[in-house]
């Protein structure tokens, strides 16, 4: 008699998970379906069945002289990959500095970083544009990934993870053994931080990949534009030349690298959950 409630809860949990999975995957399914349909078919309304224009829409996107998709993918990959790498590494390094050292301005430094976290990007946009103009970085990719070296949200996550998963005794033991600080960080701390860095790398990559505001302000050359700008320019095209099939196809192309990055890094997330489950 006592096993029945447990069985019912398991069934309910599976039903809820199936519904949530369906809701998550349904929009991807509709996106791919619409990417395979003609503009006129999409205008008629929703359909569960795929169309016959997938290859045609793909060719139209790749051959559009006003939408350099290949260079857009390359630019987005460069910016997003560098942003993710810089944000995760230097945020972890900053968190390690505040976690492993005791100094007079430790608490004010932490508060200052948290204050930057709540500052909207739009507030500093004008000053940022003036700065990169003086540095002759306007219309280049550098302003799109270099600011990732200061990522307060990533820092806070890394700092919280270190508090829960990095014994300070391990760092002290490495110092006693004569290990330098950078070597301690790179050889001892980073392997422990892999799950946290994988999670934040995914978030940083996706955030940079989907970023439209800053690239739209900085980039003007077609050859240097990222995918969000190209999608927006295609969406705002002349109504008589507007093709919804091309828009859905370009969005489909844009989400493929994000899925690949998630699949590549998900094993570290699972490993981190498993490690946390057996941690004393």
Considering only CA atoms, give the Rg of the chain.
23
User: Higher confidence at residue 276 or residue 89?
Assistant: 89
Q: Is the pLDDT of residue 270 over 70?
A: no
pTM given for the model: 0.82
**pLDDT per residue over 220-244, tens digit each?**
888 899 998 888 887 655 555 677 8
The total number of residues written for the chain in this structure: 280
- Residue 252: C-alpha distances to residues 33, 64, 205 (Å): 10, 16, 17
**pLDDT per residue over 181-205, tens digit each?**
888 898 889 988 888 888 888 889 9
Residue 33: partners with Cβ closer than 8 Å, 6 or more residues away: 47, 48, 49, 50, 51
Contact 75, 187 (CB under 8 A): no
Residue 259 buriedness (CB in 10 A; 0-12 / 13-18 / 19+): exposed
Between CA 268 and CA 280 the distance in angstroms is 20
User: What's the token pair of residue 76?
Assistant: 């987005």
pLDDT at residue 280 in the model: 41
Contact 200, 157 (CB under 8 A): yes
Q: Is the pLDDT of residue 18 over 90?
A: yes
Q: Count of alpha carbons within 13 Å of 271, Cβ hemisphere only?
A: 14
Q: Is the pLDDT of residue 20 over 80?
A: yes
Contact 32, 25 (CB under 8 A): no
pLDDT at residue 237 in the model: 56
Q: Left, alpha or beta for 151 (phi > 0: left; psi -120 to 50: alpha)?
A: beta
Contact 200, 154 (CB under 8 A): yes
User: If pLDDT is split at 50, 70 and 90, which confidence band does 125 have?
Assistant: confident
- Coil/strand/helix, residue 240: coil
**pLDDT per residue over 84-121, tens digit each?**
999 999 999 999 999 988 888 888 999 998 888 888 77
pLDDT at residue 278 in the model: 41
State the SS3 of 37-101.
CCHHHHHHCCCCCCCCCHHHHHHHHHHCCCCCHHHHHHHHHHHHHHHHHHHHHHHHHHHHHHHHC
All structural domains of the chain, each given as residue ranges with its CATH number in brackets, are 57-278 (1.10.3720.10)
Contact 222, 215 (CB under 8 A): no
């Amino acid at each position: 008699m006592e096993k029945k409630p447990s069985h019912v809860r398991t069934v309910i949990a599976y039903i809820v998970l199936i519904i949530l999975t369906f809701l998550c995957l349904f929009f991807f399914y509709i996106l791919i379906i619409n990417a395979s349909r003609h503009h006129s078919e999409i205008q008629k309304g929703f359909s569960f069945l795929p169309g016959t224009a997938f290859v045609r829409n793909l060719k139209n996107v790749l051959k559009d002289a006003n939408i350099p998709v290949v260079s857009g993918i390359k630019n987005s990959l460069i910016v997003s990959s560098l942003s993710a790498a810089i944000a995760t590494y230097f945020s972890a390094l900053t968190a390690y500095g505040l976690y492993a050292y005791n100094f007079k301005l430790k608490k004010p430094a932490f508060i200052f970083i948290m204050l930057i976290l709540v500052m909207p990007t739009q507030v500093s946009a004008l000053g940022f544009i003036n700065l990169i103009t003086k540095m002759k970085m306007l219309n280049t990719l550098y302003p799109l990934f270099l600011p990732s070296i200061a990522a307060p949200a990533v820092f806070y996550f890394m700092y919280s993870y270190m508090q829960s998963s990095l014994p300070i005794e391990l760092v002290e033991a490495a110092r006693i053994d004569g290990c330098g600080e950078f070597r301690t960080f790179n050889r001892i701390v980073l392997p422990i931080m892999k799950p946290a860095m994988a999670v934040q790398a995914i978030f940083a990559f996706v955030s940079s990949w989907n970023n439209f505001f800053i690239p739209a302000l900085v980039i003007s050359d077609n050859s240097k534009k990222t995918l969000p700008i190209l999608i927006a320019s295609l969406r705002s095209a002349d109504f008589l030349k507007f093709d919804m099939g091309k828009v859905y196809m370009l969005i489909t192309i844009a989400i493929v690298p994000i899925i690949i990055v998630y699949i590549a890094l998900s094993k570290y997330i699972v490993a981190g959950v498993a490690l946390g489950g057996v941690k004393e």
